Chains A and B, each alone.
Chain A
Amino acid sequence: MQTARAKLCGVKPYQEVKLSLRDEKISIDGKLYRMEEVSFDIPISGTVYGTLLNYRKAYKQLEPAMSQAPYHAPPNAPILYIKPRNTFSSYGAAILLPEGITELEIGSALGVVIGKTATNVKETEAFSYIEGYTIVNDVSIPHTNVYRPAIKEKSRDGFCPIGPWVIRKEAVANPNALRICVKINGEVKQENNTCNLLRPIEKLLADVTEFMTLAKGDVLLVGIPEDPPLAKVNDLVQIEIEHIGKLENKLTSKAAWEGGTT
């Protein structure tokens, strides 16, 4: 059993839980539950920073354009973006399809949860600044141009499901070699591995904290693998990351989700 930190709905403090990832059981206060018996809330509280082009093939795909306008040169430092608070949502929450949009890009990201204030971190000490790992679905409206911040494409309400929990770093022997799998309606749509990161986690943490401080509770997404799968209305999206767990959300139309009467 692995130890994780979860935020359960209706309980204010974070809870330490034990997990059996293989048979998808969670142990809370010594009692065993199935996933569907537990209501998970968002397990983190800080700022979520995403990293652009940190999978080798994702970088390679843009590389021919990097010498041309509007980019003119390949990037030097890590290129980050912020997923603002209105995007945060939990395991099981609906992802709302904005009106006029038929498909959303599923960004399967390993989230590195920061455990203590991290400034000018050395690669060799990087793991001492990490509390653990979570799964983040960095949802976007499909777009190819990355010259300007993609606020409209990446910052819609509910576009950042996070969870179901934060696995303690001790439970993950090598976070730079984790299989990632995205299933849509049970069918495998993407497979990748964090061994394909351009900047492995310790290097990314060092290069990012060279120019900005990450605070306890912040989450640094290591990147989105190339060719993110597309999902449409009523699709069940599952992101599985080896040794971390499975994040599951369903795409819903705004009208169906809102319900109610006016």
Chain B
Amino acid sequence: MKYARVAYQGLLHEAIVTDNGVKLQDGRVVGEEEVIWLPPVVPNTIFTLGLNYADHAKELSFSAVQKEPLIFFKGPNTLIGHKGKTVRPDDVTFMHYECELVVVIGKQAKQVKREDAYHYVKGYTIANDYAIRDYLENYYRPNLRVKNRDSCTPIGPWLIDKEDMKDPMNLTLRTYVNGKITQEGTTSDMLLSIPELIEYLSEFMTLYPNDIILTGTPKGSVNTVVGDEVVTEIEGIGRLVNTVVSEEVFQK
């Protein structure tokens, strides 16, 4: 099943997305164009992986072998839903998307072994973890000014049950900018797999239902500008559509 959170005619709905349309919580079925898409989960803690694909790590001239995975947190201010608008500050030169598989935790997890890890997963969704590299500083890098900006983490369109996902470690990820493919990779290239990530994190902290893990991005991140339509797509989940807008459109 595909679970979504949508707004329709002034009410927030927990909806199910089917081939016929969006089935609202009261049973009505409406068109995908008729609803406003919200982030499909209201997360507690948002974990994000940096450099979790070997090819992307190379692209960022990251050469040394890591002793520990690079993990950082995000605040709820960053999330927006499918078909949302992400603001690009006027003064920046390099803002790039990152297509990422998102793991949604379904059950409290503490000191979980990798072989049991999938029992703690509720499902999967897609995130586009934009970064504004102009603001990169070498303190708690990537610093929050790069990665914790309002609207800069589109997520969705829906959450897909883990039962409907055959092998999350073998999915093609693609990003299209204005219809042209700019990024392509596979989750099989992750350095730390989903079970390894859950084992690693739950070893030193407790994971809770609706915590989410953004698992990193493969190579192919290119600059995006105002007006670009950026589609991040993951096989077996769907396509997350986002548009880059200017500060003027966003704030004024």
Contacts and interface: CB of A to CB of B under 8 A. Distances in A.
B208 A147 contact: no
A149 B135 contact: no
Contacts of B71: 149, 151
B148 A52 contact: no
A79 B140 contact: yes
Interface string A158-181: 000000000000000000000000
A72 B136 CA distance: 12
A261 interface: no
B205 A156 contact: yes
A212 B148 contact: yes
A213 B150 CA distance: 7
B137 A157 contact: no
Nearest to A71: B138
Contacts of B70: 148-149
B144 interface: yes
B149 interface: yes
B68 interface: yes
A36 B46 CA distance: 36
A150 B44 CA distance: 19
Contacts of B45: 84-86
Most buried by A among B45, B78, B139, B148: B139
B140 A148 contact: yes
Interface residues of A, number: 39
B77 interface: yes
A149 B205 contact: no
B148 A86 contact: no
A246 B252 CA distance: 43
Interface string B184-220: 0000000000000000000011111000000000000
B74, B77, B140, B204 — most chain A CB neighbours (10 Å): B140
A174 B150 CA distance: 30
B72 A80 contact: no
Contact of A84 (B68, B73, B141, B143): B73
B137 A149 contact: no
B138 A156 contact: no
Given A52-B139, A79-B137, A79-B140, A215 B77 contact: yes
B144 A85 contact: no
Contacts of B141: 147-149
Given A75-B139, A150-B140, A151-B71, A85 B150 contact: no
B206 to A, nearest CB: 5
A15 B97 CA distance: 44
A257 to B, nearest CB: 14
Given A52-B139, A75-B137, A148-B70, A82 B205 contact: no
B204 A152 contact: yes
Counting chain A CB atoms within 10 Å of each CB, the highest count among B70, B76, B135, B204 belongs to B204
A151 B73 contact: yes
B75 interface: yes
11 contacts: A72-B138, A79-B140, A86-B206, A146-B140, A149-B70, A149-B73, A155-B205, A211-B144, A212-B75, A212-B148, A212-B150
Interface of A: 47, 49, 52-53, 70-73, 75-82, 84-87, 98, 119-120, 146-152, 155-157, 211-215, 218
Interface of B: 44-45, 68, 70-78, 135, 137-141, 143-145, 148-150, 204-208, 251
Given A147-B139, A147-B141, 18 more contacts: A49-B75, A71-B138, A78-B145, A79-B143, A80-B148, A81-B144, A85-B208, A86-B205, A86-B206, A147-B138, A147-B140, A148-B68, A149-B73, A151-B73, A155-B73, A155-B204, A156-B205, A212-B150
